[in-house]
Protein backbone atom coordinates (compact mmCIF):
# COMPACT_ATOMS: atom_id res chain seq x y z
CA UNK A 1 0.00 0.00 0.00
CA UNK A 2 1.32 3.44 -0.78
CA UNK A 3 2.55 5.61 2.06
CA UNK A 4 0.64 8.84 2.68
CA UNK A 5 2.72 11.90 3.45
CA UNK A 6 1.17 15.22 4.42
CA UNK A 7 3.23 18.20 3.33
CA UNK A 8 2.89 21.38 5.39
CA UNK A 9 5.08 24.12 3.83
CA UNK A 10 4.12 26.81 6.39
CA UNK A 11 5.64 30.29 6.31
CA UNK A 12 8.75 32.26 5.42
CA UNK A 13 11.35 29.99 3.85
CA UNK A 14 9.06 26.99 4.58
CA UNK A 15 7.61 26.74 1.05
CA UNK A 16 11.08 27.16 -0.55
CA UNK A 17 12.81 24.41 1.42
CA UNK A 18 9.82 22.06 1.32
CA UNK A 19 9.68 22.36 -2.49
CA UNK A 20 13.21 20.91 -2.65
CA UNK A 21 12.38 18.11 -0.18
CA UNK A 22 9.28 17.21 -2.20
CA UNK A 23 11.48 16.98 -5.31
CA UNK A 24 13.58 14.40 -3.48
CA UNK A 25 10.49 12.39 -2.48
CA UNK A 26 9.18 12.58 -6.05
CA UNK A 27 12.52 11.35 -7.38
CA UNK A 28 12.46 8.40 -4.97
CA UNK A 29 8.96 7.61 -6.23
CA UNK A 30 9.71 8.04 -9.95
CA UNK A 31 13.20 6.56 -10.12
CA UNK A 32 13.43 4.10 -7.24
CA UNK A 33 9.91 2.71 -6.87
CA UNK A 34 9.08 4.32 -3.53
CA UNK A 35 5.30 3.96 -3.32
CA UNK A 36 4.19 7.31 -1.92
CA UNK A 37 1.29 9.74 -2.18
CA UNK A 38 1.62 13.34 -1.08
CA UNK A 39 -1.05 15.75 0.04
CA UNK A 40 -0.51 19.39 0.97
CA UNK A 41 -2.26 21.54 3.58
CA UNK A 42 -2.06 24.87 5.37
CA UNK A 43 -0.58 25.52 8.79
CA UNK A 44 0.75 28.52 10.71
CA UNK A 45 0.55 32.03 9.32
CA UNK A 46 -0.48 30.81 5.87
CA UNK A 47 -3.46 29.08 7.48
CA UNK A 48 -4.31 32.18 9.55
CA UNK A 49 -4.40 34.28 6.37
CA UNK A 50 -6.60 31.79 4.55
CA UNK A 51 -8.91 30.55 7.33
CA UNK A 52 -8.46 32.74 10.41
CA UNK A 53 -6.72 30.03 12.50
CA UNK A 54 -3.26 28.39 12.54
CA UNK A 55 -4.51 24.78 12.44
CA UNK A 56 -7.62 24.32 10.28
CA UNK A 57 -9.72 21.19 10.91
CA UNK A 58 -9.01 20.05 7.35
CA UNK A 59 -5.25 20.08 8.09
CA UNK A 60 -5.67 18.20 11.34
CA UNK A 61 -7.87 15.56 9.66
CA UNK A 62 -5.28 15.02 6.93
CA UNK A 63 -2.52 14.87 9.55
CA UNK A 64 -4.38 12.16 11.44
CA UNK A 65 -4.81 10.09 8.28
CA UNK A 66 -1.22 10.45 7.06
CA UNK A 67 1.59 7.98 7.78
CA UNK A 68 3.97 10.88 8.28
CA UNK A 69 4.04 14.67 8.09
CA UNK A 70 6.71 16.94 6.64
CA UNK A 71 6.68 20.49 7.95
CA UNK A 72 8.71 23.48 6.72
CA UNK A 73 8.46 26.15 9.41
CA UNK A 74 5.86 28.51 10.80
CA UNK A 75 5.77 32.10 12.03
CA UNK A 76 7.02 35.52 11.10
CA UNK A 77 6.68 39.21 11.93
CA UNK A 78 3.37 39.50 10.07
CA UNK A 79 1.57 37.50 12.78
CA UNK A 80 3.53 38.56 15.87
CA UNK A 81 0.93 41.11 17.01
CA UNK A 82 -1.83 38.49 17.13
CA UNK A 83 -3.07 37.12 20.44
CA UNK A 84 -0.80 34.29 21.60
CA UNK A 85 -3.69 31.80 21.39
CA UNK A 86 -3.97 32.14 17.60
CA UNK A 87 -0.33 32.71 16.61
CA UNK A 88 1.27 30.46 13.94
CA UNK A 89 3.25 28.49 16.56
CA UNK A 90 -0.07 27.31 18.06
CA UNK A 91 -0.56 25.32 14.85
CA UNK A 92 2.59 23.35 15.61
CA UNK A 93 1.78 22.80 19.27
CA UNK A 94 -1.75 21.78 18.30
CA UNK A 95 -0.41 19.15 15.90
CA UNK A 96 2.04 17.81 18.50
CA UNK A 97 -0.60 17.41 21.17
CA UNK A 98 -3.45 16.20 18.89
CA UNK A 99 -1.17 13.51 17.45
CA UNK A 100 0.43 12.72 20.84
CA UNK A 101 3.94 13.19 19.49
CA UNK A 102 5.74 12.53 22.76
CA UNK A 103 9.22 11.66 21.50
CA UNK A 104 11.35 14.37 19.97
CA UNK A 105 14.44 13.14 18.13
CA UNK A 106 17.10 15.74 17.48
CA UNK A 107 20.26 14.48 15.86
CA UNK A 108 23.33 16.71 16.05
CA UNK A 109 25.49 15.61 13.16
CA UNK A 110 28.50 17.45 11.93
CA UNK A 111 29.49 16.50 8.43
CA UNK A 112 33.29 16.39 8.28
CA UNK A 113 33.11 18.72 5.26
CA UNK A 114 31.61 21.42 7.54
CA UNK A 115 33.85 21.00 10.59
CA UNK A 116 35.07 24.59 10.27
CA UNK A 117 31.50 25.91 10.69
CA UNK A 118 31.53 25.05 14.40
CA UNK A 119 32.68 27.51 17.02
CA UNK A 120 34.56 24.61 18.67
CA UNK A 121 37.87 23.27 17.42
CA UNK A 122 37.46 20.99 14.40
CA UNK A 123 39.07 18.00 16.16
CA UNK A 124 36.50 18.20 18.98
CA UNK A 125 33.49 18.13 16.64
CA UNK A 126 34.49 16.57 13.30
CA UNK A 127 32.37 13.49 12.75
CA UNK A 128 30.03 14.35 15.65
CA UNK A 129 26.88 12.22 15.60
CA UNK A 130 24.64 12.50 18.67
CA UNK A 131 20.95 11.68 18.90
CA UNK A 132 19.08 13.57 21.59
CA UNK A 133 15.76 11.99 22.55
CA UNK A 134 13.64 14.57 24.35
CA UNK A 135 10.36 13.84 26.09
CA UNK A 136 7.98 16.29 24.43
CA UNK A 137 4.52 16.17 25.95
CA UNK A 138 5.13 16.04 29.71
CA UNK A 139 7.33 17.45 32.44
CA UNK A 140 7.45 21.01 33.68
CA UNK A 141 6.14 22.51 30.44
CA UNK A 142 2.78 20.85 31.00
CA UNK A 143 2.64 20.11 34.76
CA UNK A 144 -0.20 21.46 36.86
CA UNK A 145 -0.59 23.58 38.92
CA UNK A 146 1.15 26.45 37.19
CA UNK A 147 0.74 30.20 37.15
CA UNK A 148 1.59 33.46 38.82
CA UNK A 149 -0.14 34.19 42.11
CA UNK A 150 -0.14 37.01 44.59
CA UNK A 151 1.10 36.24 48.06
CA UNK A 152 -0.06 37.86 51.25
CA UNK A 153 1.53 41.29 51.31
CA UNK A 154 1.18 41.68 47.55
CA UNK A 155 4.40 40.06 46.33
CA UNK A 156 3.92 37.90 43.25
CA UNK A 157 5.08 34.30 42.99
CA UNK A 158 5.53 32.31 39.78
CA UNK A 159 5.23 28.53 39.96
CA UNK A 160 5.38 25.49 37.69
CA UNK A 161 5.23 21.78 38.44
CA UNK A 162 7.73 19.17 37.31
CA UNK A 163 5.82 15.93 37.08
CA UNK A 164 6.46 12.58 35.36
CA UNK A 165 4.67 9.33 35.85
CA UNK A 166 6.36 5.99 35.34
CA UNK A 167 4.60 5.19 32.06
CA UNK A 168 5.78 8.46 30.49
CA UNK A 169 9.39 7.74 31.39
CA UNK A 170 9.09 4.11 30.36
CA UNK A 171 7.92 4.89 26.82
CA UNK A 172 10.52 7.59 26.11
CA UNK A 173 13.26 5.33 27.50
CA UNK A 174 12.19 2.56 25.10
CA UNK A 175 12.40 4.98 22.16
CA UNK A 176 15.96 5.83 23.19
CA UNK A 177 17.04 2.20 23.67
CA UNK A 178 15.49 1.12 20.36
CA UNK A 179 17.30 3.90 18.53
CA UNK A 180 20.58 3.09 20.27
CA UNK A 181 20.31 -0.46 18.96
CA UNK A 182 20.38 0.94 15.42
CA UNK A 183 23.44 3.07 16.25
CA UNK A 184 26.34 2.54 18.64
CA UNK A 185 24.24 0.89 21.40
CA UNK A 186 24.93 3.50 24.07
CA UNK A 187 22.34 5.53 25.99
CA UNK A 188 23.12 8.34 28.42
CA UNK A 189 20.10 9.32 30.50
CA UNK A 190 20.27 12.91 31.73
CA UNK A 191 18.55 13.96 34.96
CA UNK A 192 19.04 15.93 38.16
CA UNK A 193 18.36 13.00 40.46
CA UNK A 194 20.53 14.45 43.22
CA UNK A 195 18.11 17.36 43.69
CA UNK A 196 14.76 16.59 42.05
CA UNK A 197 12.67 13.62 43.26
CA UNK A 198 10.83 13.59 39.96
CA UNK A 199 14.05 12.80 38.12
CA UNK A 200 15.10 10.34 40.83
CA UNK A 201 12.06 8.38 39.65
CA UNK A 202 13.12 9.07 36.04
CA UNK A 203 16.49 7.43 36.73
CA UNK A 204 14.85 4.47 38.47
CA UNK A 205 12.49 3.82 35.53
CA UNK A 206 15.18 4.25 32.85
CA UNK A 207 17.38 1.80 34.77
CA UNK A 208 14.52 -0.70 34.96
CA UNK A 209 13.79 -0.44 31.23
CA UNK A 210 17.50 -0.71 30.54
CA UNK A 211 17.55 -4.16 32.10
CA UNK A 212 15.46 -5.34 29.13
CA UNK A 213 18.13 -3.98 26.78
CA UNK A 214 21.18 -5.81 28.06
CA UNK A 215 22.92 -5.22 24.71
CA UNK A 216 22.73 -1.43 25.19
CA UNK A 217 25.18 0.30 27.48
CA UNK A 218 23.32 2.66 29.85
CA UNK A 219 24.89 5.51 31.78
CA UNK A 220 23.39 8.37 33.80
CA UNK A 221 24.57 11.96 33.99
CA UNK A 222 23.38 15.04 35.87
CA UNK A 223 22.20 17.75 33.51
CA UNK A 224 24.79 20.33 34.59
CA UNK A 225 27.60 17.88 33.86
CA UNK A 226 25.93 16.90 30.57
CA UNK A 227 25.95 20.54 29.43
CA UNK A 228 29.63 20.75 30.31
CA UNK A 229 30.52 17.45 28.62
CA UNK A 230 28.65 18.43 25.45
CA UNK A 231 31.00 21.34 25.01
CA UNK A 232 34.11 19.60 26.35
CA UNK A 233 34.05 16.27 24.51
CA UNK A 234 30.73 15.81 22.66
CA UNK A 235 31.87 12.73 20.75
CA UNK A 236 31.58 10.66 23.96
CA UNK A 237 27.78 10.58 23.43
CA UNK A 238 25.71 8.31 21.22
CA UNK A 239 22.05 8.61 22.32
CA UNK A 240 21.03 11.00 25.10
CA UNK A 241 17.55 10.71 26.62
CA UNK A 242 16.11 13.37 28.86
CA UNK A 243 13.12 15.35 30.10
CA UNK A 244 11.24 17.98 28.15
CA UNK A 245 13.02 21.02 29.59
CA UNK A 246 16.53 19.53 29.85
CA UNK A 247 16.12 18.25 26.29
CA UNK A 248 15.00 21.63 25.04
CA UNK A 249 18.18 23.23 26.34
CA UNK A 250 20.67 20.45 25.62
CA UNK A 251 19.43 19.87 22.06
CA UNK A 252 19.92 23.52 21.16
CA UNK A 253 23.39 23.38 22.67
CA UNK A 254 24.21 20.23 20.70
CA UNK A 255 22.79 21.75 17.52
CA UNK A 256 25.07 24.73 17.87
CA UNK A 257 28.11 22.45 18.15
CA UNK A 258 27.57 21.82 14.47
CA UNK A 259 27.46 25.54 13.70
CA UNK A 260 24.97 25.15 10.87
CA UNK A 261 21.30 25.52 11.72
CA UNK A 262 20.36 24.89 8.07
CA UNK A 263 21.66 21.29 8.27
CA UNK A 264 19.75 19.78 11.19
CA UNK A 265 16.56 17.73 10.92
CA UNK A 266 14.20 16.58 13.67
CA UNK A 267 11.38 14.14 14.27
CA UNK A 268 8.49 14.00 16.72
CA UNK A 269 6.99 10.54 17.10
CA UNK A 270 3.93 8.95 18.64
CA UNK A 271 3.76 5.48 20.22
CA UNK A 272 3.15 3.78 16.87
CA UNK A 273 6.14 5.48 15.24
CA UNK A 274 4.05 7.91 13.20
CA UNK A 275 5.78 11.23 13.14
CA UNK A 276 6.09 14.83 12.15
CA UNK A 277 9.42 15.75 10.58
CA UNK A 278 10.86 19.24 10.31
CA UNK A 279 14.12 21.15 10.20
CA UNK A 280 15.09 22.52 13.62
CA UNK A 281 15.32 26.08 12.30
CA UNK A 282 12.44 28.53 12.00
CA UNK A 283 10.91 30.39 9.08
CA UNK A 284 13.92 32.73 8.67
CA UNK A 285 11.92 35.81 7.63
CA UNK A 286 15.18 37.70 7.04
CA UNK A 287 15.95 35.59 3.96
CA UNK A 288 12.46 34.41 2.94
CA UNK A 289 11.63 34.90 -0.73
CA UNK A 290 15.27 35.27 -1.76
CA UNK A 291 15.75 31.64 -2.75
CA UNK A 292 18.95 31.35 -0.69
CA UNK A 293 17.76 29.17 2.21
CA UNK A 294 19.55 25.92 2.86
CA UNK A 295 17.13 23.05 2.07
CA UNK A 296 19.38 20.30 3.46
CA UNK A 297 17.83 20.20 6.97
CA UNK A 298 14.45 19.60 5.38
CA UNK A 299 15.84 17.01 2.96
CA UNK A 300 17.52 15.26 5.91
CA UNK A 301 14.14 15.37 7.70
CA UNK A 302 12.81 13.33 4.76
CA UNK A 303 15.61 10.81 5.41
CA UNK A 304 14.56 10.58 9.08
CA UNK A 305 10.95 10.10 8.01
CA UNK A 306 11.96 7.24 5.73
CA UNK A 307 13.92 5.62 8.54
CA UNK A 308 11.66 6.13 11.56
CA UNK A 309 8.07 6.23 10.26
CA UNK A 310 8.05 4.64 6.83
CA UNK A 311 10.40 1.71 7.43
CA UNK A 312 12.47 2.49 4.34
CA UNK A 313 16.05 2.45 5.70
CA UNK A 314 17.61 1.97 2.26
CA UNK A 315 15.80 5.02 0.88
CA UNK A 316 16.96 6.94 3.97
CA UNK A 317 20.56 5.86 3.37
CA UNK A 318 20.22 6.94 -0.25
CA UNK A 319 19.07 10.45 0.70
CA UNK A 320 21.77 10.87 3.36
CA UNK A 321 24.44 9.66 0.95
CA UNK A 322 23.21 12.16 -1.65
CA UNK A 323 23.56 15.01 0.86
CA UNK A 324 27.06 13.81 1.70
CA UNK A 325 27.90 13.75 -2.00
CA UNK A 326 26.77 17.32 -2.73
CA UNK A 327 28.86 18.52 0.21
CA UNK A 328 31.82 16.58 -1.21
CA UNK A 329 31.19 18.33 -4.53
CA UNK A 330 31.78 21.62 -2.68
CA UNK A 331 28.22 22.95 -3.11
CA UNK A 332 27.25 25.36 -0.33
CA UNK A 333 24.27 27.62 0.31
CA UNK A 334 25.33 31.00 1.75
CA UNK A 335 24.82 29.94 5.41
CA UNK A 336 27.51 27.23 5.13
CA UNK A 337 29.66 28.88 2.47
CA UNK A 338 33.44 28.85 2.92
CA UNK A 339 36.36 30.00 0.81
CA UNK A 340 37.04 27.76 -2.18
CA UNK A 341 33.51 26.29 -2.29
CA UNK A 342 30.78 26.83 -4.88
CA UNK A 343 27.92 29.02 -3.67
CA UNK A 344 24.51 27.82 -4.79
CA UNK A 345 20.91 28.80 -4.11
CA UNK A 346 18.15 26.72 -2.55
CA UNK A 347 16.84 25.33 -5.84
CA UNK A 348 20.26 24.39 -7.20
CA UNK A 349 21.10 22.61 -3.95
CA UNK A 350 17.83 20.65 -4.16
CA UNK A 351 18.48 19.72 -7.79
CA UNK A 352 22.01 18.59 -6.90
CA UNK A 353 20.70 16.28 -4.17
CA UNK A 354 18.14 14.83 -6.60
CA UNK A 355 20.92 14.23 -9.14
CA UNK A 356 23.11 12.62 -6.46
CA UNK A 357 20.47 10.05 -5.45
CA UNK A 358 21.75 7.52 -7.99
P1 LIG B 1 15.21 31.08 12.54
O2 LIG B 1 15.69 29.70 12.76
O3 LIG B 1 14.06 31.25 11.61
O4 LIG B 1 16.41 31.98 12.00
C5 LIG B 1 17.60 32.19 12.74
C6 LIG B 1 18.73 32.57 11.75
O7 LIG B 1 19.11 31.41 11.02
C8 LIG B 1 18.31 33.60 10.71
O9 LIG B 1 19.38 34.45 10.45
C10 LIG B 1 18.00 32.77 9.49
O11 LIG B 1 18.19 33.46 8.26
C12 LIG B 1 18.97 31.61 9.63
N13 LIG B 1 18.41 30.39 9.04
C14 LIG B 1 17.42 29.61 9.55
N15 LIG B 1 17.17 28.60 8.74
C16 LIG B 1 17.99 28.72 7.67
C17 LIG B 1 18.18 27.97 6.50
N18 LIG B 1 17.48 26.86 6.22
N19 LIG B 1 19.11 28.39 5.61
C20 LIG B 1 19.84 29.48 5.87
N21 LIG B 1 19.71 30.23 6.98
C22 LIG B 1 18.79 29.86 7.87
O23 LIG B 1 14.87 31.67 13.97
P24 LIG B 1 14.21 33.07 14.39
O25 LIG B 1 14.72 34.15 13.50
O26 LIG B 1 14.39 33.16 15.82
O27 LIG B 1 12.64 32.89 14.11
C28 LIG B 1 11.99 33.31 12.93
C29 LIG B 1 10.53 32.85 12.98
O30 LIG B 1 10.50 31.41 12.96
C31 LIG B 1 9.80 33.27 14.24
O32 LIG B 1 8.49 33.63 13.88
C33 LIG B 1 9.80 32.03 15.10
O34 LIG B 1 8.71 31.98 15.97
C35 LIG B 1 9.69 30.95 14.05
N36 LIG B 1 10.20 29.63 14.46
C37 LIG B 1 9.53 28.56 13.99
C38 LIG B 1 9.98 27.30 14.28
C39 LIG B 1 9.24 26.13 13.70
O40 LIG B 1 8.44 26.32 12.80
N41 LIG B 1 9.50 24.92 14.14
C42 LIG B 1 11.15 27.11 15.03
C43 LIG B 1 11.84 28.23 15.48
C44 LIG B 1 11.36 29.50 15.17
Nearest CA to ligand 1 atom 26: 282
Same fold, 1-105+271-358 and 129-257: yes
288 is in an annotated binding site: yes
pLDDT band at 180; cut points 50, 70, 90: very high
pLDDT at residue 150 in the model: 97
> Measured between alpha carbons, how far is 346 from 340 in angstroms, rounded to an integer?
19
Q: Which residue stretches of 182-308 are H helix?
A: 197-210, 223-232, 244-258, 296-308
Question: How many Cβ atoms sit within 10 Å of the Cβ of residue 324?
Answer: 14
Mean pLDDT throughout 265-281? 95
pLDDT at residue 112 in the model: 87
3-state secondary structure of 315: helix
Q: Given the CA of residue 296, which atom of ligand 1 is nearest to it?
A: 18
229 CB-contact burial (10 Å; exposed 0-12 / middle 13-18 / buried 19+): middle
Decide if domain 129-257 falls under CATH 3.30.2020.10: no
Cβ of 91 less than 6 Å from ligand 1: no
pLDDT digits (tens, 9 = 90+) for 186-215: 999 999 999 999 999 999 999 999 999 999
Query: Which residues does residue 38 pair with via DSSP β-bridges, in sequence order?
Result: 5
Mean pLDDT throughout 133-162? 95
- Between 30 and 255, residue with greater pLDDT: 30
Residue 342 to residues 67, 280, 328, Cα–Cα distance (Å): 37, 25, 11
pLDDT at residue 130 in the model: 97
pLDDT at residue 108 in the model: 94
pLDDT band at 93; cut points 50, 70, 90: confident
Q: How many CA atoms, within 13 angstroms, populate the side-chain half-sphere of residue 235?
A: 10
| pLDDT of 261 strictly over 90 | no
39 is in an annotated binding site: no
User: Taking Cα atoms as reference points, which of 329, 284, 322 lies closest to residue 302?
Assistant: 322
Rounded to two decimals, the pTM is 0.92
Mean pLDDT throughout 337-355? 96
pLDDT at residue 349 in the model: 98
pLDDT at residue 256 in the model: 87
pLDDT at residue 84 in the model: 82
> Mutation test of ligand 1: which of 70, 259, 261, 297 has the most ligand atoms closer than 8 Å to its C-beta?
261
pLDDT digits (tens, 9 = 90+) for 150-167: 999 999 999 999 999 999
- List, by residue number, the catalytic residues: 141, 192, 224, 248, 252
User: Taking Cα atoms as reference points, which of 143, 136, 148 lies closest to residue 176?
Assistant: 136
Q: Where are the domains of the chain?
A: 1-105+271-358, 129-257
pLDDT at residue 158 in the model: 96
238 is in an annotated binding site: no
Distance from residue 252's CA to the centre of ligand 1 (Å): 13
Specify the CATH class of 1-105+271-358 in words. Answer: alpha beta
pLDDT at residue 258 in the model: 87
| pLDDT of 139 strictly over 90 | yes
Mean pLDDT throughout 42-56? 97
pLDDT band at 259; cut points 50, 70, 90: confident
13-17, 61-65, 112-116, 201-205: range with lowest mean pLDDT: 112-116
> Measured between alpha carbons, how far is 192 from 83 in angstroms, rounded to an integer?
35
Amino acid sequence: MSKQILILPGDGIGPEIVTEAVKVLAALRDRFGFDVEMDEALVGGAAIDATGGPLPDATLDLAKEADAILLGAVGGPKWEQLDISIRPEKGLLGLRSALNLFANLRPAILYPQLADASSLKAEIVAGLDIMIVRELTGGIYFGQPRGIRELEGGEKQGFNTLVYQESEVDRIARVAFDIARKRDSRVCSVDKANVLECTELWREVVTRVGEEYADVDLSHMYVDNAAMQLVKWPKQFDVMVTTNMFGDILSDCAAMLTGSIGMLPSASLDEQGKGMYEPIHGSAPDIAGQGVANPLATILSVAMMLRYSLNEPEMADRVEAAVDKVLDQGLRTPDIFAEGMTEVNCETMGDAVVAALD
